[in-house]
């Protein structure tokens, strides 16, 4: 009970984002919403402004809620571990995503690329007292970062659980966005969140990444949620074991 009270106090005191983070949040939301709504500005090939604006607004709401949930989980987990978490915009990732979206839309089907940035953590000295590995470390950073893709998968599970209450076109778009966002963010390319866990622990990354990808595929093909959850965990464990046997153990022997 004391730990929960302490976490609530930390959230009240340290959760608030900076003005720069708020600005970046709006940029990320509007850019990603624009990308996922690029094919929805009119039925067929016909352009209709009001039709497109409606779809864009729905996309903005979906992305805003999804990204808020994604990063809020990271911030809260970070505070619980004694770190203040900051999300940094990656300008190159934003430009690259827009270029790919425009090029692929021109040939018929928009390809979603979601690489808007990643997190930094700030050491909160007095809140880390008593923790193993007291200072800043890659494993702590990776653990916090990877709760983001996991949060997106959890949000999809929640959405599927309340599917009868959500209009189908909103549900489908929200599920597809969160699954794609989770996989893109789990890729080990700096400064994406997946890179943080990859450099923190390759073994844990092998388990986490394959579980996220497996969950995204299984949830996308619309099988029962409980089968998708159990199946993704089993696939992740199997891939982790194969990685250990085929790569990690051989590296240790070679060393």
pLDDT tens for each residue of 206-249: 999 999 999 999 999 988 999 999 999 999 999 999 988 887 66
Nearest alpha-carbon partner for 233 in 143, 162, 150: 150
For 51-72, write each residue's pLDDT tens digit. Answer: 889 999 999 999 999 999 999 9
Q: Dihedral of the CA atoms 176, 180, 183, 189 (nearest 10)?
A: -170
Instruction: Please provide the DSSP assignment of the chain as one string.
Output: -HHHHHHHHHHHHH-PPPHHHHHHHHHHHHHHHHHHTTT-SSSTT---HHHHHHHHHHHHHHHHHHHHHHHHHHHHHHHHHTEEEEEEE-HHHHHHHHHHHHHHHHTTSPPP----EEEEEEE-GGGSTT-SS-S--HHHHHHHHHHHHHHHHHHHHHHHHTGGGS-HHHHHHHHHHHHHHHHHHHS--TTSHHHHHHHH-HHHHHHHHHHHHHHHHHHHTT--HHHHHHHHHHHHHHHHHHHIIIIIHHHHHH-
Q: How far apart, in whole angstroms, are the C-alpha atoms of residue 183 and residue 152?
A: 9
Q: pLDDT below 70 — which residues of the chain?
A: 1-2, 42-45, 125-136, 248-255
pLDDT given for residue 110 in this prediction = 87
Nearest of 83, 94, 103, 91 to residue 15 by alpha carbon: 83
Q: How far apart are CA 11 and CA 127, in angstroms?
A: 12
pLDDT at residue 13, rounded to an integer: 87
Q: What pLDDT does residue 216 have?
A: 97
Q: What is the C-alpha to C-alpha distance for residues 116 and 15, in angstroms, rounded to an integer?
A: 21
pLDDT at 128: 58
Closest by alpha carbon to 64, among 154, 147, 155? 155
pLDDT of residue 2: 66
pTM above 0.85, yes or no: yes
- The whole-number pLDDT of residue 136 equals 65
Q: Write down the pLDDT at residue 46.
A: 72
pLDDT of residue 209: 96
Nearest CA to 80 out of 4, 155, 194 is that of: 4
């Amino acid at each position: 009970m004391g730990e929960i009270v302490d976490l609530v106090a930390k959230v009240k005191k340290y959760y608030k984002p900076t003005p720069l983070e708020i600005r970046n949040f709006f940029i990320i939301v509007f850019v990603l919403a624009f990308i996922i709504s690029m094919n929805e500005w009119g039925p067929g090939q016909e352009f209709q402004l009001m039709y497109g604006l409606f779809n864009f607004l729905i996309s903005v709401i979906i992305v805003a809620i999804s990204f808020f949930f994604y990063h809020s989980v990271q911030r809260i987990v970070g505070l619980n571990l004694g770190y203040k978490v900051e999300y940094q915009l990656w300008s190159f990732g934003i430009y690259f995503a827009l270029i790919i979206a425009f090029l692929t839309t021109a040939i018929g089907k928009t390809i979603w690329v979601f690489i808007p940035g990643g997190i930094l953590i700030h050491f909160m000295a007095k809140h880390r007292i008593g923790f193993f590995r007291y200072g800043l470390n890659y494993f702590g950073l990776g653990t916090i970062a990877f709760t983001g893709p996991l949060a997106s998968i959890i949000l999809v599970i929640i959405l599927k659980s309340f599917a009868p209450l959500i209009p189908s076109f909103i549900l489908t778009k929200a599920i597809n966005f969160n699954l794609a966002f989770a996989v893109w963010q789990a890729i080990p390319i700096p400064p994406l969140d997946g890179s943080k866990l990859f450099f923190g622990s390759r073994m844990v990354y092998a388990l986490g990444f394959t579980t996220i990808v497996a969950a995204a595929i299984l949830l996308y093909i619309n099988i029962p949620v409980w089968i998708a959850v159990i199946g993704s965990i089993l696939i992740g464990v199997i891939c982790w074991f194969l990685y250990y046997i085929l790569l990690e153990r051989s590296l240790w022997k070679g060393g």
